Amino acid sequence: MTRLFVVATSLLLALPSLALAATTEGAEEEFDPAHEWELQTWIDLPLGLDVNKAVAYVMLGTIVTCLLGIFLMRVKLGRDPDKRQALGEMVYEVAQVQVAEQGLPTKAIGRWFPYVATLMIFIWVVNMLGFIPLPLSDETVEIGGLDLPTLGIFAATSTLSVTLALALMTWIFTHVEGIRANGVGGYLKSWIPDVPRAMLPLIVPLEILGQFMRLISLSVRLYANMLAGHMLILTFIGLIFLTHWAVFPFSVLMGTVFYLFEVVIVVSIQAYIFAALSAIYIGSAIEPEH
Amino acid sequence: MLSSFFFLAETTGDVADAGKAIALALGIGLGALGAGVGIGNIFGSMIQAVARQPELRGELQGIQWLGFALTEAVVFYGLIGGLLAFVLI
């Protein structure tokens, strides 16, 4: 626990260190944590395929997810499992027992387990990358004649576009699977609940609205969680620059507390929730309750 | 614009901005109140359930975290709605 605390504090201190090491050039502009979410185009590509900070983070997340999957799952099975195998089995078990079996019917697990497990690991990795100071930032600092990007914490999942794309994927798969399993008529009929006939004009629009609300709630939950977490940490660190040097211990302590809360609890919970809800939505489309 | 809300209120600033900031803070605070009650309820029930039947802990844990995240997200809907209103209006 002590070691964890030290690691988190030093990671946090690494954040403003580059900015402090730089000359006073950047100091005169007003500090605003919202600047972190103004994405500048890095590489201009046609068809809106521009690369900016969030895209870079998603790409990095994809690579790390693939490497993590290979590292954890491609293990030579031994008689005594080593740490790597144990960790891989733990991740697999969470994905299998807690996520897939909770939502998906047994016949659909074979087809949809890979999707929900990938979602879980991918979102976890992207969330986690957001809390490691990386030299991927829009601002640069001049050290020894070189323009280096400042260290920044930024999660790709704290932009609505990324989470909306993930939620849209689940949403489309839900309806495709529902139609594939029940037929168009059967699937649409499953939206209509068992209520007295007179209530139907009131209930059916709500049910249809509910289908779209899933899209919003799924994407906004992840987005707002990550946004609020980053905003909190940046705000507490930013207090140093805005008020007085005397708040340094207070702001670092509070920043570390929130940092640990985000890293230990929120990151994993949000990844798990997103995958579990995807599984539940897809499962409930395949096998409607009535 | 956001910075005026996040940090130091300027006495010479726009009164409308100050009003919006107060409304936003109050809205999020009240939203957090509800979610706080909900989250407390979830964990309280979980403690009771595990105290009664400790062997069910593993099965209950998944449901517990699901409920926790669903409840907690309510604050963030308030936050996003408040920020939208703050920035757009």
Q: Express each pLDDT in B39-86 by its tens digit.
A: 999 999 999 999 999 998 888 888 888 888 888 888 888 888 888 888
Cα A7 to Cα A1: distance, rounded to the nearest angstrom: 10
For residue A141 the two structure tokens come to 């600092």
Distance from CA of B76 to the nearest CA of A (A): 6
Name the pTM for this structure.
0.82
**Closest to A112 measured CA to CA, from A280, A270, A267:** A280
User: Quick one: pLDDT band at residue A19, thresholds 50, 70, 90?
Assistant: low
The tally of CA atoms less than 13 A away on the side-chain side of residue B22 is: 7
What is the count of residue pairs from A and B with beta carbons less than 8 Å apart? 51
**Superfamily of structural domain B15-88:** F1F0 ATP synthase subunit C (1.20.20.10)
Q: Do A33 and B62 lie within an 8 Å CB cutoff?
A: no
pLDDT at A288: 79
List Cα–Cα distances, B22 to A1, A235, B89, in angstroms: 38, 18, 14
Q: Which residues contact B27 (CB under 8 A, 6 or more apart)?
A: B78, B81, B82
Q: What tens digit of pLDDT does each residue of A215-237 get?
A: 988 998 999 889 888 888 888 88
Residue A23 has pLDDT above 50, yes or no: no
User: Is B79 an 8 Å CB contact of chain A?
Assistant: yes
Residue A178 has pLDDT above 60, yes or no: yes
For residue B34 the two structure tokens come to 């509800």
- DSSP, residue by residue, B19-86: HHHHHHHHHHHHHHHHHHHHHHHHHHHHHHHHHH-GGGHHHHHHHHHHHHHHHHHHHHHHHHHHHHHH
Mean pLDDT of A7-22: 62
Nearest 5°: CA angle at A188, between A185 and A194? 115
**Closest to A103 measured CA to CA, from A88, A95, A92, B68:** A95
- E-assigned strand segments in chain A: 41-43, 51-52, 140-143, 146-149
Distance from CA of A243 to the nearest CA of B (A): 9
pLDDT at B12: 62
pLDDT at A26: 46
The tally of CA atoms less than 13 A away on the side-chain side of residue A137 is: 22
Cα A192 to Cα A203: distance, rounded to the nearest angstrom: 8
The domain locations on chain B are 15-88
Q: What tens digit of pLDDT does each residue of A238-256 get?
A: 787 777 777 888 888 888 8
- Supply the ipTM of this predicted assembly: 0.71
User: Is B11 an 8 Å CB contact of chain A?
Assistant: no
Show residues of chain A in contact with B79, CB under 8 Å: 224, 228
What is the amino acid identity at position A277? L
User: Quick one: pLDDT band at residue A28, thresholds 50, 70, 90?
Assistant: very low
Cα A192 to Cα A252: distance, rounded to the nearest angstrom: 53
Pick from A46-55, A230-239, A263-272, B21-30: least confident: A46-55
Residue A24 has pLDDT above 60, yes or no: no
**Phi and psi angles of residue B7, each rounded to the nearest 5 degrees, phi first:** -125, -100
What is the amino acid identity at position A196? P
Q: Do B6 and A33 lie within an 8 Å CB cutoff?
A: yes
Pick from A48-52, A147-151, B6-10: least confident: B6-10
Show residues of chain A in contact with B73, CB under 8 Å: 217, 220-221, 224-225
Distance from CA of B63 to the nearest CA of A (A): 9
**Phi and psi angles of residue A142, each rounded to the nearest 5 degrees, phi first:** -100, 115
Mutation target vs A (from B39, B65, B71; most A CBs, 10 A cutoff): B65
CA–centroid distance for A167 within its chain: 11
| Residue A276 contacts residue A103 (beta carbons within 8 Å) | yes
Which residue has tokens 């089995």?
A: A89
Q: Which residue of B has its CA nearest to A239?
A: B7
Mutation target vs B (from A239, A269, A278; most B CBs, 10 A cutoff): A269
Domain span at residue A269? 2-286
Pick from A64-78, B27-41, B43-57: least confident: A64-78
| Residue B89 contacts residue B20 (beta carbons within 8 Å) | yes
| Residue A63 contacts residue A71 (beta carbons within 8 Å) | no
| Range among A24-28, A114-118, A154-158 rated most confident | A114-118
The tally of CA atoms less than 13 A away on the side-chain side of residue A67 is: 7
Cα A17 to Cα A29: distance, rounded to the nearest angstrom: 17
Residue A193 Rama label (left phi>0; alpha psi -120 to 50; beta)? beta
User: Is B33 an 8 Å CB contact of chain A?
Assistant: no
Q: How many domains does chain A have?
A: 1
Element holding A213 (H helix, E strand): helix A200-242
Q: Do A224 and B69 lie within an 8 Å CB cutoff?
A: no
- DSSP, residue by residue, A164-203: HHHHHHHHHHHHHHHHHHHHHHHHHHTTS-S--GGGHHHH
Q: Which residues contact B66 (CB under 8 A, 6 or more apart)?
A: A273, A276, A277
Show residues of chain B in contact with A243, CB under 8 Å: 7-8
Mutation target vs A (from B60, B80, B84, B87; most A CBs, 10 A cutoff): B80
